[in-house]
Amino acid sequence: MIWIAIRMLTGDAQKFFGLVFGIAFSTLLITQQLTIFVNLLERGASGVYNVSSADIWVMDPVSRTTDVAYAMPSTALDKVRGVPGVEWAVPHIRANASVRTKDGDLEGVAVIGVDDATLIGLPKNMVEGSADVLSRPDSVIIDDVGTTRMFPDQSPIGERLELNDQRAVIRGIADAIPSFTSTVVLYTKYSNALNYVPGTRNRLSFVLVGAEDPAAAKTLSERIERETGLKAQTREEFARDGVQFIIDNTGIPLNFGITVALGFIVGVAIVGLTFSLFIRDNIKQFGALKAIGVTNGKIRRMVAAQAGLVGLIGYGLGVLGTVGFISAFSSDPTFKGFYIPWQIPIISLVAVALILGLTGWLALRSVLKTEPAAVFR
Amino acid sequence: MSAPAICTRAVTRDFQAGQQTITVLHGIDLDVKAGEMTFLVGESGSGKTTLISIMCGILWPTQGEVKVFGTDIYDLSDDELVEFRLNNIGFIFQQYNLIPSIDAASNAAVPLMAQGMDREEARMRAVAMLEKLNIGDQAAKLPNQLSGGQQQRVAIARALVHEPRLVVCDEPTAALDASSGRRVMDLLREVAVAENRACIIVTHDNRIFDLADRILVLEDGVVTHDGTEMPEDH
């Protein structure tokens, strides 16, 4: 009987493809939008993820994220270094600046000053060049977002920039996760950064700390807070705060939530309508089957098989569509590093199951309510 | 004397029309024998569809008792009644109600598949039945590729393939011209009427009344005639 159910469904090509399209569209919308949402949120922690060697970030108590930080006096570095359990501590500065290119374009950039001696604070990998280039005068390393945006058709290596009215030369390209706003980032030594970014008396944004025992980073961060009066967070905590900041301060969750809800509603509407039409068109056949002696249980299984087939194909197409979308845009810095967390296809699957469960149940009601005697009328 | 194939006692059926209760059948007492082609005749609204539906277990009577081959079918649970229909009754619907997206053989095999028989085996038996009805060569065609007469033969094959003991036909000749109608009736007599099988035909087609072994006339929910021929005044 399951075979008959499948043939009934696929025999009506128009409705079959309508149902598959409805599920595929819903799955695509839900999966793709949730994927972009999650990846965008994670961009709130990109500043933390780019510095993989730091176990703990120490900052002014009012600082919230890598991009929303209040500068500390330089003595903070020494205070942190004096805390037992700290293996190393280095200064880290993050500030905004303006760049004028040789073509006269103006670009707002983020300048990140990394430790002069160890270069801790740089992203782990380079697209071009090496971290050592920072030892040369006026050197900066640009991230790949900056490369694409400011030098779309040429290599930026060797290009000179007017960075806050001072000379800077690009000598490398870092493989960095873009920030939430996809701002161009220039990495330079801490001492250079102090020159490039004029400011107030206090200039130190963060102190990056390596723990003697990385597994006890949480305990160490609490000790640093106790002994220095500064705010200290483990890498995971600070990354989470970066994500939370975006959730709290932007309309992104609401907007994406609305789109995902629309995906669900559109799915219910398209699939529900098509499924109802399909059942209505076949109600005589279902009535005949019931009269012949097909139980309601078998009818339920038949409709479930039809829904299952539509769901399987539609869901597969929707997820494939999302994978295609992510792959197609992977070279665009805006989507750099985007991936589909395994939880998202499961959420989409649950949504598809709900859509089919709801619409299948509504359609099934009319079949179950049909009296077999109706076939004689 | 053997027990009747169908036995109805004091069968009454009411329908609600708003606040009003309409009684469609008034205490029908009837015995239908196996090995006969029994016609149930009456004007529209006489209650014949209601009676046939009750006799084959797809509509509950308001009162009364219906025994089919000795089984009080309305004493059965819902699932048992469905099972009983599947194993004992074959239906030929006026509009055939074939499934448009499966071929003739699969349509004819539906009762066997519903009984749980393997699809290929069910199809083989269905093809054999279609051959008996002289449309074996049409077995692989979809219903919309068949003529009305061929579709009806597929419907007959579906009604008989599982060898039911009761065959119920609803207006089998209503959509056919006189000669096609007679051919269908001849066919039904040949394949559906057997010593151990009852065959009831609901009709108001007076062109085929002479083919009946027994005619029951229903008027306003009451059997007004029971004989081998139609009464003079009809």
The structural domains of chain B, with segments of one domain joined by +, span 100-164
Q: Tell if the CB–CB gap between B114 and A298 is shorter than 8 Å.
A: yes
- One digit per residue, the tens of pLDDT, for chain B of length 234 reads 456 888 889 889 988 888 888 888 888 898 888 888 899 998 888 888 888 888 888 888 899 999 988 888 888 888 888 889 898 888 888 888 899 989 999 999 999 999 989 999 999 999 998 988 888 899 999 999 998 888 888 988 898 888 888 888 888 877 777 777 787 788 778 777 777 888 899 888 888 888 888 998 988 888 888 887 777 666
Q: Does the CB of B114 have a partner CB in chain A at under 8 Å?
A: yes
**DSSP 3-state assignment of B221?**
coil
pLDDT of residue B3: 66
Considering only CB atoms, B114 lies closest to which of A282, A287, A294, namely A294
What is the b/e burial string over A200-214, where b = at least 16 CB atoms within 10 angstroms of the residue's CB?
eeebbbbbbbbbeee
Considering only CB atoms, A376 lies closest to which of B49, B79, B100, namely B49
Domain residue limits, chain A:
2-43+251-376, 73-229
> Which residues numbered 256-315 in A keep a CB inside 8 Å of some CB on B?
282, 284-285, 287-295, 298
| pLDDT > 70: percent of chain A | 99
pLDDT of A2-31, one tens digit each? 888 898 888 888 889 988 998 999 899 899
**Mean pLDDT for all residues in chain A:** 88
pLDDT of residue A76: 92
* Long-range contacts, stretch A78-81, CB < 8 angstroms, 24+ apart: A79/A227, A79/A228, A79/A230, A80/A207, A80/A209, A80/A224, A80/A228, A80/A230
Q: Tell if the CB–CB gap between A372 and B58 is shorter than 8 Å.
A: yes
> Which residues numbered 191-220 in B keep a CB inside 8 Å of some CB on A?
202
The H or E element containing residue B37 is: strand B37-41
pLDDT of residue B32: 87
pLDDT of A286-302, one tens digit each? 888 888 888 888 888 98
pLDDT of residue B184: 77
Q: What are the chain A neighbours of B58 within 8 Å (beta carbons)?
A: 290-291, 371-373, 376
- Is the predicted pLDDT of residue A368 greater than 80, yes or no? yes
Distance CA A177, CA A183 (A): 11
pLDDT of residue A48: 92
In DSSP terms, B15 is beta-bridged to B22
Q: Does the CB of A6 have a partner CB in chain B at under 8 Å?
A: no
- Is the predicted pLDDT of residue A212 greater than 60, yes or no? yes
pLDDT (average), residues A237-252: 91
Considering only CB atoms, A285 lies closest to which of B84, B94, B99, namely B99
Chain A residue nearest residue B170, CA to CA: A376
The structure's pTM equals 0.76
Give the CA diameter of chain A.
Answer: 94
pLDDT of residue B91: 87
In terms of DSSP bridges, do strands B198-203 and B37-41 run parallel, antiparallel, or are they unpaired? parallel
Question: Who has greater pLDDT, B201 or A275?
Answer: B201
DSSP annotation string for A248-274: HHSSHHHHHHHHHHHHHHHHHHHHHHH
pLDDT of residue A141: 94
Lowest pLDDT segment from A58-67, A339-348, A361-370, B186-195: B186-195
pLDDT of residue B113: 92
pLDDT (average), residues A353-365: 85
Q: What are the chain A neighbours of B86 within 8 Å (beta carbons)?
A: 292-294
Q: Does the CB of B86 have a partner CB in chain A at under 8 Å?
A: yes
- Is the predicted pLDDT of residue A134 greater than 60, yes or no? yes
Residues 6+ apart with CB under 8 A from A134: A114, A119, A122, A140, A141, A171, A172, A187, A188, A189, A192
- Is the predicted pLDDT of residue A377 greater than 80, yes or no? no
Q: Tell if the CB–CB gap between B49 and A375 is shorter than 8 Å.
A: no
- Give ∠ CA B60-B62-B68 in degrees, rounded to 5: 45
The confidence band for A164, taking pLDDT boundaries of 50, 70 and 90, is: confident
Chain B residue nearest residue A291, CA to CA: B58
Question: Who has greater pLDDT, A102 or B111?
Answer: B111
